Structure 1
Amino acid sequence: MSIQEIQEEIIDEFGMFDDWMQRYEYMIELGKSLPLIEEKYKTENNIIKGCQSKVWVHAEMNDNKIEFTADSDAIITKGIIAILIRVFSGQHPQDIIDANTDFIDEIGLKEHLSPTRANGLTSMLKQLKLYAVAYQTQLD
């Protein structure tokens, strides 16, 4: 599935809920299904800077695609990173670099987060794209 198709799927899923309490519950559920990072990767190097809660992300290249795993010590934050990983994991680095992230605004995520969580979301996105840039550089 392409990044765009996954984003459209997420927009449809969030559209099924009438209010933000239901959407938060759904994000918490998504967080529970997150491909968890191995304990050995829960290091300072893998912590995303700029997040109020702790978020660890690990990236590995397999068959020219990046596989992400992550974890967080906060349930909403875990849901947020789960959404981002669902979109970007298993994709080619260049596709991640080129991807737009308008779907975040379309599902209303940023406007329903506290300012610190919204900053954290931006930091998570930036970090995932930085991994993509690093891996793309290796491919070039």
Structure 2
Amino acid sequence: MAREAFEEIAETFEFLDDWEDRYRHVIELGRELPGLDEAVKVPATKVHGCASQVWLLPRIEGTGPQAQFDFQGESDAMIVQGLIAILHALYSGLSVTQVGEVDAAAELARLGLNDHLSAQRSNGLRAMIERIRLLAAEAASA
């Protein structure tokens, strides 16, 4: 069910043998994301459960179950900013209903991230996924 942007990331990860190269690629992905306006870095957009500062701002087009999901995000940690970029590739452009159907653990396992992230980073990644799923569920029922 992964989108083309996520498939491209997965293909690049297959090509990169060394985890240092993969980490650099994750950081590069994060650098490509636009930053958030300081005005939206508020408690309502902050993701709790992350060791780093993380904010996710939903961008929903339409209403109901078929509304299109998108989000912007930012972190004060480079690797986490890259993880936000990966989640953006995984979820953006799906309907809010489809967001809830994505098996994020399975998709991210394809990248091997679980084996190479610290426990704190893994917990933060799960917190971001839960926030994304919650935002989409709220939009689907609106």
Q: Which residue of the partner structure matches residue 10 of structure 2?
A: 11
Q: Which residue of the partner structure matches residue 57 of structure 2?
A: 58
- Runs of at least 5 residues in structure 1 that lack an aligned partner in the other structure: none
- For 1:59, the aligned partner's letter is P
Deviations 1:9-57 (Å, cap 9, x if unpaired)?
Answer: 2211111101110000000000011133222211111111100000000
- Mapped partners of 1:40, 1:94: distance in 2: 29
Q: Taking every aligned residue pair, what percent have the same amino acid on both sides?
A: 34
Q: Which residue of the partner structure matches residue 126 of structure 2?
A: 122
Q: Which residue of the partner structure matches residue 106 of structure 1?
A: 110
Q: Which residue of the partner structure matches residue 30 of structure 1?
A: 29
**Relative to 1, partners in 2 of residues 1:6 and 1:100: Cα closer, same or farther, differing over 3 Å?**
farther
Is the 2:53–2:75 contact (alpha carbons within 8 Å) kept by the matching residues of 1? yes
Q: CA deviation at 1:99?
A: 0.9
Q: Which residue of the partner structure matches residue 136 of structure 1?
A: 140
Q: CA deviation at 1:4?
A: 4.4
Is the 1:3–1:91 contact (alpha carbons within 8 Å) kept by the matching residues of 2? no
- For 1:70, the aligned partner's letter is G
Q: Which residue of the partner structure matches residue 90 of structure 2?
A: 87
- Taking structure 2 as the reference length, what is the TM-score of the superposition? 0.90
- For 2:83, the aligned partner's letter is I
SS state at 2:44 partner: helix
Is the 2:27–2:81 contact (alpha carbons within 8 Å) kept by the matching residues of 1? yes
Matched length: 137
